[in-house]
Amino acid sequence: MIAAAQLPGITHSGGRWLTRCCVILCTVYVLTEDELRERLEPDRVITAIESAFRDRYTSIVISARSHMNLAGGVFLIMACYDGAGHALGIKLVVVQDRPQQTDRVHATYMLLEPQTGAPKLIMPANYLTDLRTAATSALATRLLSREDVRILGVFGIGRLARAHLRVLPLVRRFERILVCGRDSGETREFTQSMSSDKYCYQA
């Protein structure tokens, strides 16, 4: 996708202020959720997160999360700049006030050109957030848990629980997984579905 934007500018010439416009053309890549799932390998995400914490932590600037109340929800804005990696990104999230709905969180991530702020990549960020969160937990599990640990406990039966059950077995050989949910029937259905999940050990 090609994006064009007109940016007004002001110059001084012969005692007069003149308004001018410049047009910036940039190529914007757009990925779908399915394309993200195909491209992101959990073990490589774990390695990338470890590198970010270990090697680039001092060069990364994360602004305070800002939020805006909406009619029926809240809008969250989270920005991050990696000076060493020359990367600038922002995540936009809408959380709807529908507690009973499983799809009330909608996230989008934008990768920007640091020098101009022009968009380079736009992608949905629900799966990206789930995988990043689970990969960070997996890194902590690998560094902090005993190597012979065999039991994993998970609180909740939502998207993040599913992501953790798929990613954490990459760093430890769990033989038993305990799941705690608010509703016994829904928790039972969740454990049954995850037991048949090809990416997860038996729960």
User: Hunting for tokens 């969180």 — which residue is that?
Assistant: 105
In a domain, 69, yes or no: yes
Angle between the N-to-C axes of helices 42-55 and 159-167, in degrees from 0 to 180, rounded to the nearest 10: 90
- Residue 119 and residue 184 share a domain: no
Indicate the residue among 76, 91, 125 that finishes a domain. Answer: 125
**Tens place of pLDDT per residue across the chain (203 aa):** 545 444 444 444 454 444 455 555 678 999 999 999 999 999 999 999 999 899 888 889 999 999 999 999 999 999 999 988 899 999 999 999 876 666 789 999 999 999 999 999 999 999 999 999 999 999 999 999 999 999 999 999 999 999 999 999 999 999 999 999 999 999 999 998 888 876 665 44
- Residue 120 and residue 43 share a domain: yes
> CA-to-CA distance for 170 and 201, rounded, in angstroms?
10
**Biggest CA-to-CA distance, the chain:** 79
> CA-to-CA distance for 85 and 72, rounded, in angstroms?
37
DSSP-assigned letter for residue 129: H
> CA-to-CA distance for 133 and 113, rounded, in angstroms?
25
Expressed as residue numbers, the domain containing 81 is 33-125
Cβ burial of 131 (10 Å; 0-12, 13-18, 19+) is: buried
- Residue 63 and residue 104 share a domain: yes
- Residue 73 and residue 112 share a domain: yes
Provide the pLDDT for residue 18. Answer: 45
In a domain, 8, yes or no: no
The CATH code of the domain that includes 86 is 3.30.1780.10
Indicate the residue among 74, 94, 125 that finishes a domain. Answer: 125
